[in-house]
Structure 1
Amino acid sequence: MFSSDTNIVNGEKFTFTQLRQMDISPQQLFDWYAPMDTIEDFIEENSEGLFFNCSRKNGNNWFGPQCQYRFANDGGFLKIIDRQYAMRTFNDFKSLSSTNGTCYPVMKNECQSIICLDWREIFDGKIDCTNGFDERHCHNLEMNECNNTNEYRCINGQCIDKEFYLDKQYDCMDMSDELYEQLLESDSMFLPDLQDRLCPLTWDRLYFQQMPVSTFILFTHVSLIYDNKMPKWICYNETLCPYLSMNEFNSFESHILNGSICRAFNVFNNKTYTDLKDVLKEFKRFVRSCSLPPNVQPSEECSMFPCDDKSKFLSYHRLSDGFEDCSNGEDERQNVTCSFNLPYYRYQCNQETKCIRKTLVFDGIDLSDADNNTDETDCSMDEWRCLTPYTKCDNTWHCLDGHDELGCKNSIPKSGFCTKQSHFYLDIVTGLPICLARSKAADGSIDCVGSTDERAFCRIKYKNNRMNRYRCRNSDICITPFQVCDCHQDCPENDDETLACIWINNGRKPFCDESKFRCRNGKYIECGEKICRCRSDSLYCSEGEHLLFCDLINLSLHPAFTMNELEKYSNVTKHRVLTMQQITDNVNTQQCNQGLHVRSASSSIRFYCLCSDHYYGDRCQYQRKRVSLILRPSITDSFDHQSSFKIVVLLVHQNTTIVSHNQFLYEPQFLCLPKYYLTLLYPINVSWSSSSLSSNYSVHIYSFTSQTLEKRSSWQFDVPFHFLPVNRIAKRLLIC
């Protein structure tokens, strides 16, 4: 409750006594957007209460208990959110001057890391704490088995209801339950569970910024030291990297640096490299076995797949799942996976012994066997449709000939250059615009610059890199669209700077300025630190030529941190986050991380951060431990479909104490098989520390008829992995 001498300048102050004298009702307070706490106090006849009627002053809407807040920009609430998050998406690097990002706090000295960890870095299969504390319990996830009768096992070991598998909505936190190309046609920013997905945002950038000059560090203890882009030394912890200390390497000279063994790079790899990106890629592959603490041999009762170097023991679910986990990739070359009695979600390749995950089938990437039989070969279009409401006009070719992208309003160029049965592209010989008939796409003959009509090659060669999709002319090299027309030759024949740019240059001399982009009509776009190319949120060029070749990139919710960004960080002074007193009056929404930035009339620093449930702290910088729920209620035929139900969800400790709660109204007559996304929060002082790992938490759910509050059904689900910062529970609830 505010004191009566509260000074407010952006609204009108009333005492509860004054409101009653004016015959103001609780409904009127509600209509005036009064806080619910204020309305409840008013109903309880608290005579000492205050109500601040916020006004519109100087064209700005003031809000808050004391009318002390307003947004820096006017407009609808959704537009304000969209603007703030869009600024962060394209200014990640700049944001590090004012914030360290968000992280998951732990007990002091429990995790020894150069930066505070993002929750996604905990139990993710690689060491981030120098003492390995963040991965000590990861084997519990790896060995977990789901109920094959009614559950689907995500790649990360968590379980979801079987009904949610391949339903065109992501339910696994690692998104392994859906075809990777089938992103929903909605703004990813507003997906209800986006903050609960296993895709780090700025953590990699923060980590790289702390590295010494000319040093690339993995898993906190493995270092690649390079000079002028040439690899020189690999240093590692011998206990955590037994594979690198095998007899074949021990005979070579070694040195000790800060307690680590250092050997020359050519001891492990004598290839010649011209690009630092290729060096780092090979380095990451070679030291993959050092990503986990020393293995504890699994018990005889636990059947797991051992990598050749014995650095990892994997669940059999990880075999032929599309991701290399062993250092030599042997887990993806297993040809007898059908014999492992894995659940129904495996696809048998051409009636043979190899079974792969169904999410790899008809994903536009061939996984060939020795006889050239693939996961794409035996799938009829009726069984695995490439053209669906979710794939139509989403700027990605799901069909081999791209007919799912024909006749789209957002096609390039904007002027409707081609018919609805042909693609706009640049001729491979002249670089001039052509309209390519659908029948000539994916016919085995390259007709277009960048091999835009024959996309299979780059997708197969770089199946785990969704950016390298522009194929250089007469070459097996694939580069990213961002390397095209960037004033730097990346292709052997320089077609990325000549043929690819003829149409954009429109008869003028090539234009080379990394800070600007020239449209076909001669207009110049000032880019500065922003990315001009491949941004669909703003129409930079009237014909959309800034989007040329961008449809080659396979859709992804978040742009990956690419290795060519590494050189930016070697020359950056280690940043120091600004203190509250150092923040200027300039609006910088990055100061609030994942929260909303608002102006504050009552704060000395002139801004305030509004945090969502997932975060806390004055900058919304700390991540909450939580349970993320996806619930799908349904009713039996005994109920009238006009019925409605109140669903109450509780997080309970030791079956006695309610620590968090949520609720929603289920109305079957309005929604058919809806999904409800809820979050249950742990107390802030509960973390993944050793003291809380054995805590007994469970989720209790109760359904009541909304009219009479008669109890109908109840469910109880144990929270399976208490050591995880975020647990996912995805269940179907049948109300009886």
Structure 2
Amino acid sequence: MNSDDELYCEQIETNICDENEFRCRNGLCINRQFLFDGQGDCTDLTDEQSLLVIKKYHNFEHCFEQATFDCDEHWCGREMISCGDGECIPWNQRFWNGFDCSNFYTHVYNCELEERDAKSINFSITDNYGRCTMNITEFNANNDPCLLMIKCAVTLHPSCQSIGMFFTEGKDAYAYACELCQNRTLVDYASGTTFLSPFIRAYYTPKQFEIYSPDFFSKMKVRQPGLLCVIGEHMCRGIKVIHNGSTCFQYNDIFEQSYPFSPYDYLFCQSVNHSVTYCVSTTFFYRCQTSGECISKHRLFDGFVDCFDASDENNTEALNSLLPLFMKDRYNCTIDGNSSNTVMRHFLGDGTSACWHGTDEMSLSINWQQQQCFKSDDFACSLLRDLYQTTNEGQSKNILRFTSLCDSFWDLRNGSDEIDCSEWICESGWIKQQSNLSQWSGNCINPEWKCNKIWDYTDGSDEYDCNRTKSYPIPDCLLLDSNKIIPLNATNTMAGNGIVECSGGIDERVTFPCNDGFPLNERFLCNDQITCLKPMDLCNHNIDCPTGEYGSEFWCGPRPSFNTSVCKAEEFNCLEQNDTGPCIPDEDRCNDERKSCLIFHRDKHMCIHRRKYNHQRWDRLAFLPNRTDRNRKNL
């Protein structure tokens, strides 16, 4: 109550760990002997790969039903909402239907958003204390018929019959809400409670109910607050600021923007200039370029955005002037001998590029996505620990296993370990690609991978002569030079020759390197032969290719006229029932055993299966020096 928990925070911000200690993101220190051992010791887990959060701790989703030290001590970053038990969810999902804390913490003051009965779409009512009830009479509106009607309009809840406000049609309910609220500009969303932040209050607005739309997405929008207003007293950059609630922002201006973390503090303080005594210690503190926050220099170029303007991760001038004290335990994002930025080793191999060129996922000499540290004696753990003593030049060198050469998997950026393999002798039991059409020919694969509907050889010949009744496992080729459609099979020799000749790059999925250094694989290559799209970005009504070619009927089939999606994470929207779906699990997409999208068959478009084998085999070693080209003859 007296804000003691917020005192002396600058001491943690400027905390310097001993030489034998590792500094966690939150400023606390742990002994280096616990670094990268497969067990989180920092409360924010930055002493381990971020993959550990998913694969070992399962995103802490089970913390609501078990009491463990790991759950109790887990700290969520400012870009997340803490569920109070160790689980975290992204801050901007606070008002998303279906993206909730497992303990239902995010249901508080949000009950109208939550679907309780999937068959009847029966929504709950939020009572005065933020809890969910199934009876409107348990909500005390203080004789406010406008607020009561809004609750009934957004839910069409059966209990509204008891107060004479039940409607079977949303259009009629909206019209009555507008009538009862016509003299109001703001209506309390959460009984006057600042549940989002100590100085943010949420409101409904009558304008939200002026137009009724029956689609699911529009109905969910009116269940969200229309305005969010700043109110109260807060210290802003060394100056006390008071807001009376007259400064407000539209819901979309906060939750539909790409802010790196919740913007409440920034919005409260954005009109305040810096005080004379604010952020004067340039030795330990950095003032964000345009947003003005004062943060510890330990937070610069760590892979986490701490400035609202993101200058702590983008200001290369600040990077070049940083003292070694603030650069300890950073991974240098080096490519072509130049270091563009740095990140904590925590991010290496997590599937998302934190380095500008993606070298935290695939460097010139290490495929970090194959290095997973789950036990202290794992090779990846040793590799990650050793980076602490590695110079910028030495960081881009690696010991590569002989068995990783010519094994059809890219262990080096741009696949330089998989070319000129025609004379390579496969290890015992493996089979060799017989064609010799290009420098990409001659790779070796496990015989178990033959006829599994996934291209493993660069030309796809491991999927020939498989005696299957179903079609060859790749779409036809739409030739870029003539727009003719031809099959990609044993009758042609264009696949795997290193030259993109088909729309989407489907003929070179194993040879074409995207900007992240990984092969195109199941992704879609735009006609600019630069932009690689994830499968879920294809046919999603957003123009991602510079020329927009991926929106053609060849790839997407007949297209509906709507432009929204309401499916949850790990779901695919068939876009067949207005904009309400059906939503199918991602694993049902491109599944030959299931027919889920029955009208447009969008689940069968661009169906190329991703390679997910665990092919690591740690035996013979080969030293691989720093390399920037694809020539492996000098090994």
TM category (shorter chain) comes to: 0.3 to 0.5
Of structures 1 and 2, the one with the larger relative CO (CA 8 A, separation 6+) is: 1
